[in-house]
């Protein structure tokens, strides 16, 4: 094994850990609100949820400047800023004494969290082999989903053993330490010369044929539509599931720790779907895989209303397989279609769409839960999955090559 190969594997590990921390730290509040602050601060769940909204708005809005800075300055440098910044922001949030203070803290967490997806995915695709892009994105996605799962598990544990503030402090400290390690190992890669993406095009590519340009426009519309709708599904399931389990698993889970374990197991096992999807993307292309993921969601979201205990747990596991399985698909298509020197910026646009929808989903969750309960939410999610299914039928069976003639180096 060469030094370069070892270095790439270590960097891949850092990128995976970064994805884990990104999702963990943005979802700690979901379990804190559901299982601790309703009692400690005397506010209802629907009253607490809106305080997370500014953080998820920042998660989306700051993705574009983060991607732009990475392309213009240094992708590795921006990753270092991510690790240290989100860690310090999480620690600060743990000191919050009022809902307003925790909302401000979550906003700053969201600002730094916005860095990961456009920058981390651009680095991931840049360093992945052409035949293994889907697999690399799938593995990276599993780490992100384990972060989602661990947010409920770790937070539930600390609520029962020391208090909810530790759920912000502990991973925040870990993130800062990892960031310092990243700086020590990859400091040489943080120079501006490496920031625009290796192999950055300096010349002009040949103009695209009219039919290829039209196809790319259609693909872009499908990608951003499905990104927006799947964002509603992802946010609603990952944010609300601890509260869903708190209400529906009363016969099998009677503590914050046990509810956290249940959410962790569902998220963790369902995340394996991303590895399967990653391998299938490289073999079958996105259309077939996307149709399968959307169909699974449509069926099991439709079955969820009215279920409790073991039936609810099993169906939740099934729809999370579909919800997590679809996550790598749009990232895979962007990675294949985007020019290398603009990839982080384009991922930034993708995540502005995605996380803006995530922020909008939080008031939706609160409004639906307060007025009708979670049964209506699952019917809305089934309709969203149906809309995705209709859209992905329009995808071609194989993606085109947007750069048939490479730009001059």
Q: 47-65 pLDDT, tens per residue?
A: 888 898 889 888 878 988 9
- How far is C-alpha 241 from the chain's CA centre? 16
**Tokens 């780490």 appear where?**
143
Q: What is the pLDDT of residue 358?
A: 67
Residue 29 pLDDT level (bands cut at 50, 70, 90): very high
Contact 353, 228 (CB under 8 A): yes
Ranked by mean pLDDT, the top range of 130-144, 253-267, 376-390 is 376-390
**Tokens 């690790």 appear where?**
83
Ranked by mean pLDDT, the top range of 3-7, 32-36, 173-177 is 173-177
Q: What is the pLDDT of residue 403?
A: 54
Distance CA 166, CA 340 (A): 40
Handedness of CA 113, 234, 10, 283 (dihedral sign): negative
Ranked by mean pLDDT, the top range of 154-158, 169-173, 322-326 is 169-173
Residue 360 pLDDT level (bands cut at 50, 70, 90): confident
Across the range 398-402, mean pLDDT stands at 65
Domain 3-194+210-392, classified CATH 1.20.1250.20, yes or no: yes
Distance CA 297, CA 1 (A): 42
Dihedral, CA of residue 387, residue 389, residue 393 and residue 395, to nearest 10 = 90
Q: What is the pLDDT of residue 81?
A: 96
Residue 216 has pLDDT above 80, yes or no: no
Residue 120 has pLDDT above 70, yes or no: yes
Across the range 215-237, mean pLDDT stands at 84
Helix axes of 165-186 and 3-32: crossing angle, nearest 10 degrees: 160
Q: What is the pLDDT of residue 200?
A: 45
Handedness of CA 125, 218, 327, 364 (dihedral sign): positive
Residue 353 pLDDT level (bands cut at 50, 70, 90): confident
Across the range 262-286, mean pLDDT stands at 84
CB atoms within 10 A of CB 360: 17
User: 209 is written with which tokens?
Assistant: 């044929």
Distance CA 374, CA 127 (A): 42
pLDDT tens-digit map of 314-345: 999 999 999 888 888 888 887 777 666 677 77
pLDDT above 90 as % of the chain: 32
**Tokens 């029962």 appear where?**
160
- Residue 363 has, within 13 A of its CA and on its CB side, a CA count of 8
Residue 402 pLDDT level (bands cut at 50, 70, 90): low
CB atoms within 10 A of CB 221: 12
Supply the mean pLDDT for the chain.
83
- Alpha carbon distances (Å) from 286 to 92, 182, 192, 207, 395: 41, 33, 34, 26, 8
Instruction: Compare 341 and 296 and report the one with higher pLDDT.
Output: 296
Q: What is the pLDDT of residue 254?
A: 73
Burial 253-285 (b: 16+ CB within 10 A, else e): beebbebbbbbbebbbebbebbbebbebbbeeb
Q: What is the pLDDT of residue 198?
A: 46
Q: What is the pLDDT of residue 407?
A: 39
Q: What is the pLDDT of residue 376?
A: 93
Residue 348 pLDDT level (bands cut at 50, 70, 90): confident
Distance CA 9, CA 134 (A): 16
- Alpha carbon distances (Å) from 116 to 80, 113, 339, 406: 10, 6, 19, 28
**Poorest-pLDDT segment among 71-85, 362-376, 394-408:** 394-408
Instruction: Compare 333 and 355 and report the one with higher pLDDT.
Output: 333
Residue 367 has pLDDT above 50, yes or no: yes
Distance CA 277, CA 359 (A): 26
Q: What is the DSSP string of 180-200?
A: HHHHHHHGGGGSGGGTT-TT-
Residue 22 has pLDDT above 50, yes or no: yes
Q: What is the DSSP string of 313-330?
A: HHHHHHHHHHHHHTHHHH
């Amino acid at each position: 094994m060469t030094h370069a190969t070892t270095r790439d594997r270590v960097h891949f590990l850092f990128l995976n850990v970064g994805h884990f921390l990104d999702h963990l730290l943005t979802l700690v509040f979901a379990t804190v609100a559901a299982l601790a602050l309703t009692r400690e601060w005397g506010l209802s769940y629907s009253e607490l949820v809106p305080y997370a909204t500014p953080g998820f708005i920042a998660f989306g809005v700051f993705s574009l400047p983060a991607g732009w800075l990475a392309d213009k300055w240094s992708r590795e440098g921006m990753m270092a800023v991510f690790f240290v910044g989100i860690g310090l922001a999480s620690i600060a949030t743990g000191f919050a004494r009022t809902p307003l203070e925790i909302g401000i803290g979550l906003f700053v967490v969201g600002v730094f969290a916005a860095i990961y997806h456009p920058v981390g995915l651009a680095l991931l695709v840049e360093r992945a082999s052409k035949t293994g892009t889907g697999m690399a994105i799938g593995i990276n996605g599993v780490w992100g989903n384990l972060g989602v799962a661990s947010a409920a598990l770790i937070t539930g544990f600390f609520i029962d053993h020391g208090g909810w503030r530790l759920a912000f402090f502990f991973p925040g400290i870990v993130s800062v330490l990892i960031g310092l390690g990243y700086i020590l190992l990859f400091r040489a890669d943080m120079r501006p010369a490496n920031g625009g993406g290796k192999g950055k095009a300096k010349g002009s590519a040949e103009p695209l044929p009219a039919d290829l340009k039209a196809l790319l426009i259609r693909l872009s519309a499908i990608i951003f539509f499905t990104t927006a709708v799947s964002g509603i599904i992802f946010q609603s399931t990952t944010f609300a599931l601890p509260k869903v389990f708190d209400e529906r698993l009363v016969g099998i889970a009677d503590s914050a720790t046990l509810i956290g374990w249940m959410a962790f197991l569902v998220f963790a096992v369902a995340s394996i779907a991303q590895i399967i999807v990653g391998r299938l993307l490289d073999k079958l292309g996105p259309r077939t895989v996307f149709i399968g993921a959307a169909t699974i969601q449509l069926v099991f979201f439709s079955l969820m209303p009215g279920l409790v205990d073991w039936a609810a747990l099993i169906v939740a596991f099934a729809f999370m397989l579909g919800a997590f399985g679809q996550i790598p698909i749009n990232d895979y298509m962007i990675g294949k279609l985007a020019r290398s020197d603009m990839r982080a910026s384009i991922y930034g646009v993708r995540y502005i769409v995605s996380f803006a929808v995530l922020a909008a989903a939080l008031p939706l969750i609160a409004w639906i839960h307060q007025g009708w309960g979670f049964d209506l939410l699952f019917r809305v999610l089934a309709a969203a999955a149906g809309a995705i299914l209709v859209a992905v039928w329009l995808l071609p069976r194989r993606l085109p090559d947007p750069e048939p003639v490479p730009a001059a180096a």
